Amino acid sequence: MNFLAIETSCDETAVAVFTDELKILANVVASQTDLHSRFGGVVPEIAARAHLQRLLPTLEEALRQAKLSLRDIGCIAVLNTPGLVGALLVVVSAAKMLALALDVPLIAANHIEAHIYAARLGAGRDIFPCVGLVVSGGHTSLFHCRTALRFDLLGATTDDAAGEAFDKVASILGLGFPGGPAVERDAQAGNSRAYAFPRSFLHQDRLDFSFSGLKTAVLYAVHGVGVAHGPPPPPGQQRADLAASFQEAVVDVLVGKSRQALQRTGIKRLAVGGGVAANRHLRQALENMVKQENAELFIPPLSLCTDNAAMAAVAIEKRRHGEWASLDLDAIPTYR
Ligand code: KG4
Ligand code: ZN
């Protein structure tokens, strides 16, 4: 049975086709970076309008790659929460329309759970129960994932998400948008010990995160304490050192809290998902940490870390449990 999955929760228009045996036949992502980069971040209204324009061509491309037609689709999967409400309204309306027109069932899944399921896809085998770390532009959370569909929250960011901090620091350093890959690139030539940036909550017995103080520390290191604006540092050693020291601080905290979560739950599996999981320095540091903890790391290939629709394959688990959605499905912007 073939699933058609669609995801447009933020600034990627994504369509995937996969079978109920977890074979991915197509995974197409139309990025909107070109539209948002001059604003230094995602503009929700522009994102929603671009999804409207790009969804059908992306869907056609996915079917072409899968060598299938709409008549071969037996189920529609949609990620209806969380995300930007205007962007989610596009995908929810499209999914309902497709399910109605094709007379096939509709399944709604959660974007955060889907990011962890991407690690399941990458592993090619069952990964549950596990500790789940979701690190994206909108979320930084640790979960006890009892099954693919049953998550208990262990901790979350109290302010900025890790990806958001990467994007804001990239803007302070004049590195453009999206910030994560740009900071990672600049950091390669930098000294990660050049600046002693804060690592919030790292030595406290709680599994929450805070990145806004770190972001402000970078701002003050660039412009001076109390000064919020000024020209970014020019390309060169100082900028690379700032990028490397910032990245090191984020990685230390993400790795440290993941280690605490493994120790607290006694679980020996860590699954990581979300755009920041594409960061090579983080991947290496997590790899080293799980080895010390005698645990296993499940982290998807880069194309499954950032937003995509293949991760909506978590809908296969919902189908097994008979969790269908109806045509009064809503777009739900906040995580529940
Ligand atoms: O999961 P995602 O594609 O979208 C959300 O659900 O938010 O994550 C996007 C975030 C952005 O903040 C982006 O800067 C960050 O992931 N990101 C990275 C890297 N690639 C993407 N952060 C650090 N290093 C990277 N290589
Ligand atoms: Zn995401």
What does the domain layout of the chain look like in residue ranges? Answer: 2-115+305-320, 126-302
The domain 126-302: what is its CATH number? 3.30.420.40
Q: Do domains 2-115+305-320 and 126-302 have the same CATH topology?
A: yes
What CATH superfamily classification does 2-115+305-320 receive? ATPase, nucleotide binding domain (3.30.420.40)
Predicted confidence band of residue 178 (pLDDT cuts 50, 70, 90): confident
Q: Whose CA is nearest to atom 19 of ligand 1?
A: 180
Residue of higher predicted confidence among 231 and 25: 25
Q: Whose CA is nearest to atom 10 of ligand 1?
A: 137
Overall average pLDDT of the 298-314 stretch: 97
Taking alpha carbons only, the member of 250, 310, 325, 323 closest to residue 115 is 310
Q: What is the pLDDT of residue 292?
A: 98
Overall average pLDDT of the 51-70 stretch: 98
Q: Is the pLDDT of residue 60 over 90?
A: yes
State in Å: Cα 316 to ligand 1 middle.
Answer: 26
Residue type, 130: C
**Encoding tokens for residue 185?**
């690139």
Lowest mean pLDDT among 13-17, 110-114, 175-179: 175-179
Lowest mean pLDDT among 74-78, 199-203, 225-229: 225-229
Residue pair 139/274 in contact (Cβ under 8 Å)? The answer is yes
Phi, psi angles (nearest 5°) of residue 5? -120, 140
Predicted confidence band of residue 254 (pLDDT cuts 50, 70, 90): very high
Report angle CA 95, 100, 104 to the nearest 5 degrees.
Answer: 85
Residue type, 89: L
Ligand nearest to the CA of 110: 2
Predicted confidence band of residue 211 (pLDDT cuts 50, 70, 90): very high
Overall average pLDDT of the 292-315 stretch: 97
Q: Is the pLDDT of residue 41 over 90?
A: no
For ligand 2, a single-atom ion, the residues with CB < 5 A are 136, 307
Q: What is the pLDDT of residue 37?
A: 87
**Encoding tokens for residue 318?**
């919902």
Through-space distance between the first and last CA atoms of the chain, rounded to whole angstroms = 30
Taking alpha carbons only, the member of 210, 181, 195, 137 closest to residue 280 is 181
Q: Is the pLDDT of residue 173 over 90?
A: yes
Please choose from 215, 306, 334, 335 the residue to mutate so as to test ligand 1's pocket, defined by most ligand atoms within 8 A of CB.
Answer: 306
Beta strand pairing status for 296-298 and 269-273? Answer: parallel
Lowest mean pLDDT among 37-41, 74-78, 169-173: 37-41
Overall average pLDDT of the 89-96 stretch: 98
Q: Supply the mean pLDDT for the chain.
A: 96
Q: What percent of the chain has pLDDT over 90?
A: 94
Ligand nearest to the CA of 111: 2
Q: What is the pLDDT of residue 171?
A: 94
User: For ligand 1, which residues put their CB under 6 angstroms from it?
Assistant: 10, 136-138, 163-164, 166-167, 178-181, 184, 274-276, 278-279, 306-307
Q: Whose CA is nearest to atom 8 of ligand 1?
A: 275
State in Å: Cα 161 to ligand 1 middle.
Answer: 10
Q: Is the pLDDT of residue 114 over 80?
A: yes
